[in-house]
Structure 1
């Protein structure tokens, strides 16, 4: 009975095995490969290096922009100064000899007044500079004076203009008084000379007056020529 049961179970087991093996079929194509995903992992050193590099790049860019701005500003200032200088210097007045004379006169004033008193030593070179500039370069001096007045009206306070006008008035008054004193001294000197000459003529009989002396001096030579 036990043998029969064993025989009956054997074929059943073999049939099930054959059925399962026949149901599994191999695929024709290989199965697709799953995509590989890479995860970016940064360390602390990489973060520090990146931040330092970005800081250096930003600092370099800002410094380059600032340098370009300063260069552009200086170029603009240079062009403005050049145009202003060309407008102040007239074309018909060369600077080559006149400017040299002005410098020599200013240096001579500082050299000659080296051992003088303090006010003379300080005031003489500027006065010689202004005087020589007005004498050797009159048009340039006039343009510089106009430019100074323009700058004074725009930039300086009104007190400076008032002080300059007061100084000019005092200077003009002093110059006028000096001229009047010189003219009066000249008239007095000429009158004294005329009186002295008239007294010499009265005492000696010689005509040493203005036109008489010349005529008297010229007449003998003419008479001599006639006699010859």
Structure 2
């Protein structure tokens, strides 16, 4: 029988080495290995023993958070961790209704304020007009009658207009006013004075009109005073002439006797 070759000798050796290299060092079980419950109870520490730091960390890591919400996590981190939810359609509808109600309330309040302001102005103007008319009426102790006095003033103004109808436009404009004012000062003097004070009150608000009124009044007063002085002087001269004539007649009569 022939001796085996070197190749045939090395093949079993290589197979043995490969088998030794591939042999597992740990036992692999297809199912969970059996556990001894008594051994686990023996390994469990009593509840009264002081736990180590490792056990404390394990307990803290495996213990769930309390239901009361008292956790060691900061509130900002908890808020950032919790997902944010936007407003629901019901919340948006409620917010829109609230804005609409506020807008309507502001509009109604503004309209009410405008109406109240307008009514206040109207009532103030009415009260001012009534007060002004009452202030023009003469006092009871003056015994002035507005009805016949007003008719006399109107007739005098119409008469002045009739008299000056063939004159120039300035004379036709001034004559009825002068005749009416003169008649009013004579017939209803207290009412004329009240009307003059009211006109002066309104004219005082406009300096130009006020100054023009003062100049016209001063001119009329000066003309009236000058005419009165001249008339008195003419009357005195006429009286002197009459007295001289009377004396001459009396002297002539005495000579004739």
Indicate the TM-score class for this superposition, using the shorter chain for normalisation.
0.5 to 0.7
1:89 is aligned to 2:140: no
1:103 is aligned to 2:154: yes
Deviation string 1:116-174 (CA, Å, 9 cap, x unpaired) is 33332111001011111111111111111111222222x31x22222222222222221
Partner of 2:190: 139
Could you say what secondary structure the match of 2:166 adopts? coil
Which residues of 2 match residues 201-220 of structure 1 at below 5 A? 201-205=250-254
**Match for residue 189 of structure 1 among 235, 238, 245:** 238
More helix per residue: 1 or 2?
1
Deviation string 1:162-203 (CA, Å, 9 cap, x unpaired) is 222222222222111111111110111111111111111122
Partner of 1:167: 216
RMSD (Å) for aligned C-alpha atoms: 2.9
Question: Which structure 2 residue ranges, 5 or more long, are not aligned?
Answer: 1-110
Which residues of 2 match residues 50-129 of structure 1 at below 5 A? 73-74=121-122, 76-92=124-140, 93-129=144-180
Greater shift in the superposed pair: 94-103 or 109-118 = 109-118
TM-score by length of 2: 0.49
Between the aligned partners of 1:174 and 1:165, the Cα distance in structure 2 is 14
Question: Which structure 1 residue ranges, 5 or more long, are not aligned?
Answer: 1-61, 207-228
Deviation string 1:96-127 (CA, Å, 9 cap, x unpaired) is 11111111111111122212333321110010
1:179 is aligned to 2:206: no
Deviation string 1:60-98 (CA, Å, 9 cap, x unpaired) is xx8xx9999867755543332122101221242331111
Partner of 1:151: 202
Query: Which of structures 1 and 2 has the bigger CA Rg?
Result: 2
Between the aligned partners of 2:156 and 2:118, the Cα distance in structure 1 is 39
Could you say what secondary structure the match of 2:165 adopts? coil
Greater shift in the superposed pair: 134-143 or 144-153 = 144-153
Pairs aligned (count):
144
Between the aligned partners of 2:148 and 2:119, the Cα distance in structure 1 is 35
